[in-house]
Amino acid sequence: MRPTTPAPRSGKAPLDQFLATRFPPSASRVRDIYRETTICYAYMCGYAHSCTEKTERAAQVLTRRCMRYRPDAARVAPGLSDLALDLLARRRESGQRLSPGTVSVLDRLRPTGPLRRQT
């Protein structure tokens, strides 16, 4: 048997390539029936502005990835949901009185009115 010597190469490159690989969110050894999920309504959620799991439509997300169920230390500060901002924008369009603070928030976030129009 002939002795073989390994080819000279850097051992760091394969490790860097492995660590740079991102796995899809569903990659887990836990079976689907044991995963706790919740329905995400990003349009109604106050944490959607900094959520990584939000979608345009309602979707099931893992509970451990939902900002609402994270510990207080891991949560971001909640903001107004898109639904709340649209309701306030509709009130402004209909001519109802709003406080100056509310008007300034709407001028900054909804200058052209609600995102979703009623049909």
Residue of 30 and 60 predicted with greater confidence: 60
Output the average pLDDT for the chain: 81
88-104 pLDDT, tens digit per residue, is: 999 999 999 999 999 99
Backbone dihedral angles phi then psi of residue 38, each to the nearest 5 degrees: -140, 160
Q: What is the pLDDT of residue 88?
A: 92
Using pLDDT thresholds of 50, 70 and 90, give the confidence band for residue 3: low
Can you tell me the distance from the alpha carbon of 81 to that of 101, in angstroms, rounded to the nearest whole number? 17
44-58 pLDDT, tens digit per residue, is: 999 988 888 888 888
Token reading at 102: 């509310």
17-35 pLDDT, tens digit per residue, is: 666 665 566 566 777 677 7
Token reading at 58: 């309602």
pLDDT(119) > 70: no
Angle at 87 between CA 86 and CA 90, to 5 degrees: 85
Token reading at 107: 């001028």
pLDDT(107) > 80: yes
